Amino acid sequence: MKFRLRPGPALLVFVLLAALVIVTMVYAAGQTLLAGTMLVITALALWIYSAARTYAWRYLFPGIAAALIFVVFPMVYTMAIGFTNYSSRNLLEFPRATQYFLDEVFHGGDGASYAFTLHEDGPEFRLRLEDADAARAWVSGRLALATTTPLEVKLEPQGQAAIALGEPAPLKTVIARQKNLQALTLRLPGNDSKLVMTGLRQFGAVQPLYKRNADGSLLNQQTHALLRPNMSSGFYETEAGERLQPGFQVGVGWANYQRIFTDTAFREPFVRIFVWTVVFSALTVFFGAALGMFLAVLFNWDALRFKGLYRTLLFLPYAVPGFISILVFKGLFNNNFGEINLILDALFGIKPAWFSDPLLAKAMLLIVNVWLGYPYMMVICSGLIKAIPADLYEASAVAGAGPFTNFFRITLPLILKPLTPLLISAFAFNFNNFVLISLLTGGRPDFLDTSVPAGTTDLLVSYTYRIAFQDSGQQFGLAAAISTVIFAMVAAISLVQMRFTRISKDESR
Amino acid sequence: MAIVLDKSHRWRVIAAHAFLIGLIALVIFPFLMILSISLRPGNFAAGSLIPETISFEHWKLALGISYTAPDGRLVKPDFPVLLWLWNSVKVASLTALITLTLSTTAAYAFARMKFRGKQFALGGLMLMQMFPAVLALVAIFAIFDRIGSVFPFFGIDSHASLLLAYSGGIALHVWTIKGYYDTIPVEIEEAAKVDGATPWQAFRLVLLPMALPILMVVFLLAFIGAIIEYPVASVLLHEEAKLTLAVGSKLFLYDQKYLWGDFAAAAILSGLPITLVFILAQKWMISGLTAGGIKG
């Protein structure tokens, strides 16, 4: 048997090694969870691409893995975040928050301090530190002093360096470069302590502000106060119970859900927004379907000419990207300069406040959303109506029935069953129609009586978004809990939809 | 149909035409208005549908060219519209490519192979696409924030993060492509296998060329899906130079800085090509799917 070069295994080994290097890097950077996830994926990939009985999964793995990691995992993770206090105040994980405290430094009274002077050296600078008591001095290398990124600089004894320093730069120059100088940390040879700028003429030794005890508490070296991590509030606290920033993420159990459902200040806007979400989706679907169906019936009428042209023009709103149409409407509806109000003003002398009156804002949303959504309904209904046998209409014409009888007795009953699942999925889509709300009204006008930002035109999703990304508190945990509630609602809608899909399939058999 | 037409019939036809023309006027009004606004001088100018004076200042700004205002002031573009368009096209093309690669291979396994958990995986994909990504925005932000602390290339404010976030959205496309594969007779691939082709070769050299129409359609649909995607991009991108069109366009219409005319030009400039691609995809979808049906 001849040996042949097989690229497959070699490639596999190479990819595997690269993956392991990356996983190690991630682990070293302190992201244990991420490293673990990547390791599991790598192991799975190795198994699937080496074992013979998993052959089918070689085709499935990349796609399914991407779907699991970037679609399913974020959903599960959202539910998990709903049980934490993750927010801008409790942003870091516990080890990172602890490290933040341990990295803090202070300039102690007993620490050494050195007089410093700044000397120009061409376009750059050198620092000179002097210990007056010991009559010793040190000099730095050339420094540009152009950035404020932290930089550690080693100094050399002035005698050894044999550098001719010019006159010390005037204080004006030091003040001009103060920001850059403050970014420096200096180290002297044979000395462990770090020196930072402590005054315009002085650098001083600093030491860590906190020392970690064996039991996990932190001792403040300056005031000798003791900080203890509180695992239920997510903060380091002093003996007196004072909380210190930054906080860290901890699990809070059902607290977020308790807030949503039992806190009156919170429950009230939640219920109002939920009701509007349902009303908005239902009305959108109703008006969109009604208009779409009417047009589809018209286009099925033999006596009508130019159908192709009409259909193409009426389809246009569906083809234009939604984010552009919505923003166009935002401008057209503008209270003061919008063309719609200019026309209304010229015709009837009215200027409706589309963006500040809650009822008008809701009406505007419905108008725009029906405009965006009816072409889809039109296309779907046209397809369904084409499938209705023509002899039904002929029979009804012989019986002398008018168009209304035709529609309510023949067309509607026959297309409603197959249409129902599509109507429900349109309802589900509009239930989460974040793009429309976010781009058109942003949820405004806002309620005036709520603690978190909430608007009269907010849907549940846009409300969640505002709590997470627009409120100053960035309450990710709370937002994730609301998202989880929406997940449950969407799941319920999906169940209903699947039932109707099955019914319409069974009937068509 | 030999039906006697009564007198009201003629009136009904005329009423229908009147209604349709009125509706079309309402539907087309925003498009014509935006074209007119893009050609008016200034950002607050009111006027008739056909502008009295035509000015190309907004178009110049949209194309990234400065212009000199009547009072001698040099007006520079406020936003890099062309850069945003390029960002959008770049992200959308790569997303479409990744989506296509991932979903064609997965659909092949679903259409042609037997394995345990097939029905479960197919049902799971169907279920997955009922939950929109907008519900998981907090988690998506947190995940990419974490990834970014190790690999800045894939972190917040990078196009790579957007590509990763979009790469999972294959569910619908897998179903579409699988449906098309199902219409192609399996005998052709089996003949290839009899001649010694591996399953991969049968897929790559026999099935894929036959499935080209649906691959084009899926590519275009994924492309449009990515180019109009707003929620995830709005969470992951913040820096002005990194924005995609969908996120950047809304910056034109803040109450404090209302650039209505500039927006109009930018909207047409970016909206027109996307609309044309969409109509093209619709046409291909219909012709591609029927072509497949005839072949099958």
Tens digits of per-residue pLDDT, A156-171? 887 766 677 778 888 8
Span of A89-98, A406-415, B77-86, B194-203 with lowest mean pLDDT:
A89-98
Residue A163 has which token pair? 């550098």
Residue A403 has pLDDT above 70, yes or no: yes
Residue B289 has pLDDT above 60, yes or no: no
Q: d(Cα B60, Cα B67) in Å, to the nearest integer?
A: 7
Q: d(Cα A292, Cα A490) in Å, to the nearest integer?
A: 25
Residue B19 has pLDDT above 60, yes or no: yes
Q: B28 and A316 in contact by Cβ < 8 A? A: yes
The average pLDDT across A28-50 equals: 83
Q: d(Cα A72, Cα A58) in Å, to the nearest integer?
A: 20
Regarding whether A487 and A422 lie in a shared domain, the answer is: yes
Domain enclosing residue A39, as ranges:
9-81
Q: d(Cα A347, Cα A280) in Å, to the nearest integer?
A: 29
- The percentage of chain B sitting over the pLDDT mark of 90, rounded to a whole number, equals 31
CA-based nearest residue in chain A for residue B132: A432
Q: Which one has a higher pLDDT value, B67 or A506?
A: B67
Q: d(Cα A206, Cα A193) in Å, to the nearest integer?
A: 7
CB count, 10 Å around CB of A417?
15
Q: Mean of the per-residue pLDDT values for chain A? A: 85
Q: d(Cα A373, Cα B39) in Å, to the nearest integer?
A: 29
Q: Which one has a higher pLDDT value, A386 or A29?
A: A386
- Tell me if A315 sits within 8 A of A379, measured CB to CB: yes
pLDDT of residue B219: 92
Span of A142-151, A278-287, A300-309, B45-54 with lowest mean pLDDT:
B45-54
- Tell me if B39 sits within 8 A of B51, measured CB to CB: yes
Regarding whether A142 and A66 lie in a shared domain, the answer is: no
Given A208, A228, A250, the domain boundary residue is A208
Residue A133 has which token pair? 């008591």
Residue B70 has pLDDT above 80, yes or no: no
Regarding whether A267 and A185 lie in a shared domain, the answer is: no
Is A183 a domain residue? yes
**Structurally, how many domains does chain A consist of?**
3
- Tell me if A84 sits within 8 A of A249, measured CB to CB: yes
Is A363 a domain residue? yes
Residue A388 has pLDDT above 90, yes or no: no
A386 touches chain B (CB under 8 A): no
Residue B59 has pLDDT above 60, yes or no: yes
pLDDT-derived band of residue B294, with 50, 70 and 90 as boundaries? very low
What are the backbone angles phi and psi of residue A199, rounded to the nearest 5°?
A: -165, 175
pLDDT-derived band of residue B293, with 50, 70 and 90 as boundaries? very low
Residue A439 has which token pair? 């781009």
Residues of B in contact with A440 (CB under 8 A): none
Q: Which one has a higher pLDDT value, A253 or A275?
A: A275
| C-alpha angle A349-A327-A362 in degrees, rounded to nearest 5 | 60
Span of A366-375, B43-52, B135-144, B263-272 with lowest mean pLDDT:
B43-52
Give B295 to chain A, closest Cα distance, Å. Answer: 23
pLDDT-derived band of residue A459, with 50, 70 and 90 as boundaries? very high
- Tell me which residue of B80, B56, B85 sits closest to B252, measured CA to CA: B80
Q: A137: domain CATH number?
A: 2.40.430.10
Q: Compute, in degrees rounded to 10, the torsion defined by CA atoms A233, A236, A238, A241.
A: -10
Q: Where are the beta strands (DSSP E) in A232-289?
A: 235-237, 243-244
Regarding whether A417 and A449 lie in a shared domain, the answer is: yes
Q: A483 and B136 in contact by Cβ < 8 A? A: yes
pLDDT-derived band of residue B288, with 50, 70 and 90 as boundaries? low
- Tell me if B139 sits within 8 A of A70, measured CB to CB: no
pLDDT-derived band of residue A369, with 50, 70 and 90 as boundaries? very high
Residues of B in contact with A29 (CB under 8 A): 149-150
pLDDT of residue B292: 44
Q: A490 and B169 in contact by Cβ < 8 A? A: no
Element (H, E) at B163: helix B159-167
Is A238 a domain residue? no
Span of A320-324, A398-402, B171-175 with lowest mean pLDDT:
A398-402
pLDDT of residue B46: 65
CA-based nearest residue in chain B for residue A391: B1
Q: d(Cα A247, Cα B247) in Å, to the nearest integer?
A: 32
Residue A71 has pLDDT above 80, yes or no: yes
The average pLDDT across A380-398 equals: 88
Q: Which of B9, B139, B227 sits opposite A74 (nearest CB)?
A: B139
Mean pLDDT comparison of A163-167, A418-422, B286-290, highest-scoring range: A418-422
B26-40 pLDDT, tens digit each:
999 999 989 988 888
Interface list for B 82-111 with A (CB within 8 A):
101-103, 105-106, 108-110
Regarding whether A435 and A376 lie in a shared domain, the answer is: yes
B231 touches chain A (CB under 8 A): yes
Cα torsion B29, B34, B36, B41: sign = positive
Query: Which residue bears the tokens 């990710």?
Result: A476
Q: B105 and A490 in contact by Cβ < 8 A? A: no
**Helix/strand/coil for A453:** coil
Q: d(Cα A250, Cα B272) in Å, to the nearest integer?
A: 49
Is A249 a domain residue? no
Residue B285 has pLDDT above 80, yes or no: no
A233-243 pLDDT, tens digit each:
888 888 888 88
pLDDT of residue B43: 72
pLDDT of residue B17: 92
Q: d(Cα A421, Cα B172) in Å, to the nearest integer?
A: 17
Regarding whether A459 and A370 lie in a shared domain, the answer is: yes
Give A489 to chain B, closest Cα distance, Å. Answer: 10
Regarding whether A174 and A58 lie in a shared domain, the answer is: no
pLDDT of residue B20: 94
Residues of A in contact with B168 (CB under 8 A): 66-72
pLDDT-derived band of residue B3, with 50, 70 and 90 as boundaries? low
Q: Which of B139, B170, B228 sits opposite A67 (nearest CB)?
A: B170
A77-109 pLDDT, tens digit each:
999 999 999 888 888 888 888 888 888 888 765
pLDDT of residue B243: 92
DSSP for residue A169: P
Q: B108 and A59 in contact by Cβ < 8 A? A: yes
B213-225 pLDDT, tens digit each:
889 889 998 999 9
Give A480 to chain B, closest Cα distance, Å. Answer: 6
pLDDT of residue B168: 87
Is A90 a domain residue? no
Regarding whether A166 and A77 lie in a shared domain, the answer is: no
pLDDT of residue B108: 92
The size of the A-B interface in CB pairs under 8 A is 236
Regarding whether A494 and A410 lie in a shared domain, the answer is: yes
Is A224 a domain residue? no
Given A208, A235, A251, the domain boundary residue is A208
pLDDT of residue A447: 85
B175 touches chain A (CB under 8 A): no
Residue B112 has which token pair? 């042609």
Through-space distance between the first and last CA atoms of chain A, rounded to whole angstroms = 59
What are the backbone angles phi and psi of residue A113, rounded to the nearest 5°?
A: -135, 150
Interface list for B 7-26 with A (CB within 8 A):
9, 12-13, 16-17, 19-20, 23-24
B70 touches chain A (CB under 8 A): no
pLDDT of residue A205: 80
Regarding whether A74 and A171 lie in a shared domain, the answer is: no
Q: d(Cα A369, Cα A359) in Å, to the nearest integer?
A: 15
**Mutation for B interface: A22, A48, A68, A71, most B CBs within 10 A:** A71
Regarding whether A180 and A129 lie in a shared domain, the answer is: yes
- Tell me if B293 sits within 8 A of B287, measured CB to CB: no
pLDDT-derived band of residue A113, with 50, 70 and 90 as boundaries? confident
Q: Which of B33, B109, B274 sits opposite A59 (nearest CB)?
A: B109
Interface list for A 427-456 with B (CB within 8 A):
428-429, 432, 434-435, 438-439
Is A98 a domain residue? no
Given A164, A188, A208, the domain boundary residue is A208
Mean pLDDT comparison of A13-17, A85-89, A213-217, A455-459, highest-scoring range: A455-459
Cα maximum dimension of chain A: 119
Query: Which residue bears the tokens 């958990």?
Result: B117
Is the preceding peptide bond at A389 cis, omega within 30 degrees of 0?
no
DSSP symbols for B73-120: PEEPPSS-HHHHHHHHHHHHHHHHHHHHHHHHHHHHHHHH---TTHHH
Give B193 to chain A, closest Cα distance, Å. Answer: 16
Q: Which one has a higher pLDDT value, B75 or A477?
A: A477
Q: d(Cα A162, Cα A165) in Å, to the nearest integer?
A: 9
Neighbour-count burial for B241-251, b at 16+ CB within 10 Å, e otherwise: ebbbbbbbbbe
- Tell me if A325 sits within 8 A of B30, measured CB to CB: yes
Q: B164 and A342 in contact by Cβ < 8 A? A: no
CA-based nearest residue in chain A for residue B174: A63
Residues of A in contact with B28 (CB under 8 A): 313, 316
CA-based nearest residue in chain A for residue B169: A67
Residue B45 has pLDDT above 70, yes or no: no
Q: d(Cα A176, Cα A182) in Å, to the nearest integer?
A: 12
pLDDT of residue A507: 64
Neighbour-count burial for A243-281, b at 16+ CB within 10 Å, e otherwise: ebebbbbbebeebbbebbeeeeebeebbeebbebbeebb
pLDDT of residue B55: 80
B165 touches chain A (CB under 8 A): yes
Q: A333: domain CATH number?
A: 1.10.3720.10
- Tell me if A194 sits within 8 A of A186, measured CB to CB: yes
Q: Mean of the per-residue pLDDT values for chain B? A: 85
A457 touches chain B (CB under 8 A): no
Is A40 a domain residue? yes
Backbone conformation region of residue A219, classed left if phi is above 0, alpha if psi is from -120 to 50, else beta: beta
The average pLDDT across A140-146 equals: 81
Regarding whether A493 and A357 lie in a shared domain, the answer is: yes
Q: B46 and A71 in contact by Cβ < 8 A? A: no
DSSP symbols for A440-452: HTTTPSBPSS-SS
Q: B227 and A29 in contact by Cβ < 8 A? A: no
* Strand A151-154 versus strand A184-187 pairing type: parallel
Q: d(Cα A333, Cα A354) in Å, to the nearest integer?
A: 7
pLDDT of residue A300: 86
